[in-house]
Structure 1
Amino acid sequence: MNMTDFFSVTDKVAVVTGGLGQLGSQFTKQLAGAGAKVAIFARRERSEAEIEEQFPGLSGLVRVFKADVRDKDSIEAATAELEKVWGVPHILINNAGIDSKPDGDADQNAPFEVYPKKYWDDVIETNLTGCMLMSQVVGAKMADAGRGSIIMVGSMYGMVSPNQSLYAYREERDGKPFVKAISYAASKSGLLNMTRYLATYWAKKGVRVNLVTFGGVKTGSFDKEFIDAFLERVPMGRQAELEEFGPIVQFLGSDASSYMTGANLVLDGGFTAW
Structure 2
Amino acid sequence: MIDFFSVEGKVAIVTGGLGQLGSQFTKQLAENGAKVAIFARRDRTKDEVEAQFPGLSDRIRVYRSDVRDKDSLIEATDRVIADWDTPHILINNAGIDSKPDGDADQNAPFEVYPKKYWDDVIETNLTGCMLCSQVIGTKMSEAGRGSIIMVGSMYGMVSPNQALYSYREERDGKPFIKAISYAASKSGLLNMTRYLATYWAKKGVRVNLVTFGGVKTGSFDKEFIEAFLERVPMGRQAELEEFGPIVQFLGSDASSYMTGANLVLDGGFTSW
- TM-score interval, normalised by the smaller of the two chains: over 0.9
Corresponding residue number in structure 1 for 2:93: 95
Corresponding residue number in structure 1 for 2:105: 107
User: What displacement does 1:173 show?
Assistant: 0.2
Corresponding residue number in structure 2 for 1:269: 267
Partner SS for 2:200: helix
User: What displacement does 1:87 show?
Assistant: 1.0
- Whichever residue aligns with residue 258 of structure 1, its letter is S
Q: How does 1:22-171 map to 2 (within 5 A)?
A: 22-171=20-169
CA–CA separation in structure 1 for the residues paired with 2:177 and 2:261: 30
The reply to whether residue 185 of structure 1 matches residue 176 of structure 2 is no
Between the aligned residues of both structures, percent identity stands at 85
Task: Report Cα offsets for 1:46-90 as digits up to 9, x if no partner.
Answer: 000000000000000000000000000000000011111001000
CA–CA separation in structure 2 for the residues paired with 1:27 and 1:84: 23
CA–CA separation in structure 2 for the residues paired with 1:11 and 1:51: 19
CA–CA separation in structure 2 for the residues paired with 1:268 and 1:170: 24
Partner SS for 2:181: helix
Normalising to structure 1: TM-score of the pair? 0.99
- Extract structure 1 runs of 4+ deviating beyond 6 A: none
CA–CA separation in structure 1 for the residues paired with 2:228 and 2:37: 35
Q: Which runs of 5+ in 1 are unaligned?
A: none
Corresponding residue number in structure 2 for 1:201: 199
Corresponding residue number in structure 1 for 2:4: 6
CA–CA separation in structure 2 for the residues paired with 1:22 and 1:265: 20
User: What displacement does 1:210 show?
Assistant: 0.0
Task: Report Cα offsets for 1:12-67 as digits up to 9, x if no partner.
Answer: 00000000000000000000000000000000000000000000000000000000
The reply to whether residue 237 of structure 1 matches residue 247 of structure 2 is no
Task: Report Cα offsets for 1:146-188 as digits up to 9, x if no partner.
Answer: 0000000000000000000000000000000000000000000
Corresponding residue number in structure 1 for 2:210: 212
What RMSD over aligned residues (CA atoms) do the two structures have, in Å? Answer: 0.4
- Whichever residue aligns with residue 6 of structure 2, its letter is S
User: What displacement does 1:256 show?
Assistant: 0.1
Partner SS for 1:77: helix
User: What displacement does 1:220 show?
Assistant: 0.1
CA–CA separation in structure 2 for the residues paired with 1:159 and 1:112: 19
Partner SS for 2:167: helix
CA–CA separation in structure 2 for the residues paired with 1:267 and 1:111: 29
CA–CA separation in structure 2 for the residues paired with 1:150 and 1:23: 16
Partner SS for 1:65: strand
The reply to whether residue 175 of structure 1 matches residue 167 of structure 2 is no
Q: Which runs of 5+ in 2 are unaligned?
A: none
CA–CA separation in structure 1 for the residues paired with 2:115 and 2:177: 15
Task: Report Cα offsets for 1:214-245 as digits up to 9, x if no partner.
Answer: 00000000000000000000000000000000
Number of aligned residues: 272
Task: Report Cα offsets for 1:246-268 as digits up to 9, x if no partner.
Answer: 00000000000000000000000
Partner SS for 1:8: coil
Normalising to structure 2: TM-score of the pair? 1.00
